[in-house]
């Protein structure tokens, strides 16, 4: 769990993405406290090579076998002692390694679920930036956390803010004593003020131009459709043990208040800060201590104003679709997440328009079976089925727009 010098060993799943890069930035600020055990990526050889040379992990994992071979050659030439592993199974190995104390789970999408679950089953401190682990397999994942005594800390800025605003009970874990409602904030994305016609004509670059946050392209599109809030609603329910009726989505375009908790006595506690993911990352790494994150303090005079509005589910139907999927239960949210990943990839590739994304998701959900998620295999089968259906919808559409709930 620790090196001979007392440093905590950290594995970063998805180290070349934005969360991974920010995690390494925070870790580098505390070399006396943390050591990097493993870094992982899919096929970004150059980026992972540079990270390995900078942070000297014991292991580097590339799920693409060919990329792993290339990385091994390059690190050997550079004189690096890092051992390179290839294939998806190696993700589980470095996540559950007995030497590891902390796992940052930041692989985007369903691909991150098995390794994140492996970390939970191994009783690690799991810093959860991969919301799909709970969206797809919330019951299984939370059961694994409880059974193994893992410590689950949310890294999404909104859920981390909620965590910070909750009371701490006698066992030093946050509780819900006196909580009336959770207020989950949303920036509204880049199209918050656009009309329906303009949104329908949006390009991938426009959808990825988030006004406040620097994120990967898939997550940026989710923010633009508000599907990210639907996924985060499901995540909040599992993390904090509440039903969706106790979570209110609040559009807050400044992204200064990251979320709020409303109490029975009328109090509302909010967590504020500049929109920088290093803050929740540092909080997760150091909890219950607070670590320096390299983030500029919030200037309230410069911020000047804070605005709030209700989300518009007519212009952004993905939020409604996700809410209905949560209510349906079973594997419906796993299918919703899978269809969304396929639809977003199709949009980024230019195969469909922006408003075809919710259409693909809704049509997929109308065609797939809902079953109880009794095991990871069942969840993965539901994910596979939804991907096949969504991909067929993309292939069959031609130049014709999809109508929502199309028979």
Known binding residues for NADPH are 16-19, 43, 130, 132, 216
**268 phi/psi in degrees, rounded to 5:** -130, 120
Closest by CA position to 185, among listed 165, 209, 205, 208: 165
Query: Strand 34-41 and strand 247-251: pairing?
Result: unpaired
The Cα 106–Cα 379 span in angstroms is 20
The Cα 273–Cα 281 span in angstroms is 13
Beta-carbon contacts of residue 289 (< 8 Å; ≥ 6 apart) = none
Q: Which residues contribute to the annotated binding site?
A: 16-19, 43, 130-132, 156-158, 187, 210, 216, 223, 228-229, 232
Q: List the helix and strand counts (H, then E) for the chain.
A: 17, 11
Closest by CA position to 52, among listed 68, 29, 33, 30: 68
Q: Which residues contribute to the annotated binding site for 1-deoxy-D-xylulose 5-phosphate?
A: 131, 157-158, 187, 210, 223, 228-229, 232
Q: Which residues contribute to the annotated binding site for Mn(2+)?
A: 156, 158, 232
DSSP string, 77-123: HTT--PEEEESTHHHHHHHH-TT-SEEEE---SGGGHHHHHHHHHTT
The Cα 239–Cα 362 span in angstroms is 26
The Cα 38–Cα 124 span in angstroms is 14
């Amino acid at each position: 769990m620790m090196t001979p010098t007392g440093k905590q060993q950290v594995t970063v799943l998805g180290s070349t993405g934005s969360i991974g890069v920010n995690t390494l930035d925070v870790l580098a600020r505390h070399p006396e406290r943390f050591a990097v055990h493993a870094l992982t990526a899919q096929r970004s050889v150059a980026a992972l090579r540079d990270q390995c040379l900078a942070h000297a992990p014991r292991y580097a994992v590339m799920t693409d076998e060919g990329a792993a071979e290339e990385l091994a050659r390059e690190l050997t030439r550079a004189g690096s002692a890092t051992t390179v592993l290839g294939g998806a199974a190696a993700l589980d190995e470095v996540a559950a390694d007995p030497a590891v104390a902390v796992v940052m789970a930041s692989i985007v999408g369903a691909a991150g679920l098995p390794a994140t679950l492996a970390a939970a089953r191994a009783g690690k401190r799991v810093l959860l930036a991969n919301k799909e682990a709970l969206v797809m397999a919330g019951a299984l994942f939370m059961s694994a956390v409880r059974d193994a005594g893992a410590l689950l800390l949310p890294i999404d800025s909104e859920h981390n803010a909620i965590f910070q605003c909750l009371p701490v009970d006698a066992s030093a874990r946050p509780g819900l004593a006196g909580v009336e409602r959770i207020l989950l904030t949303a920036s509204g994305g880049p199209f918050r003020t656009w009309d329906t016609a303009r949104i329908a004509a949006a390009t991938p670059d426009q959808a990825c131009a988030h006004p406040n946050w620097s994120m990967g392209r898939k997550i940026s599109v989710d923010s633009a459709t508000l599907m990210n809030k639907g996924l985060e609603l499901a995540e909040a329910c599992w993390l904090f043990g509440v039903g969706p009726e106790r979570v209110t989505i609040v559009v807050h375009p400044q992204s200064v208040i990251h979320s709020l908790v409303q109490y029975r006595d009328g109090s509302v506690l909010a967590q504020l800060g500049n929109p920088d993911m290093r803050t929740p990352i540092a909080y997760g790494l150091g909890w219950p201590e607070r670590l320096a994150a390299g983030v500029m303090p919030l200037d309230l005079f410069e911020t000047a104003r804070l605005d709030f509005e209700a989300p518009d589910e007519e212009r952004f139907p993905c939020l409604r679709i996700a809410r209905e999927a949560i209510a349906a239960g079973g594997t419906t949210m796993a299918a919703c997440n899978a269809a969304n990943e396929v639809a977003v990839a199709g949009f980024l590739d230019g195969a469909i328009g922006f408003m075809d994304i919710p259409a693909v998701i809704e049509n997929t959900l109308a065609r797939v079976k809902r079953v109880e998620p009794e095991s990871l295999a069942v969840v993965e089968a539901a994910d596979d089925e939804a991907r096949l259906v969504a991909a067929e919808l993309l292939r069959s559409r031609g130049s014709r727009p999809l109508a929502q709930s199309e028979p």
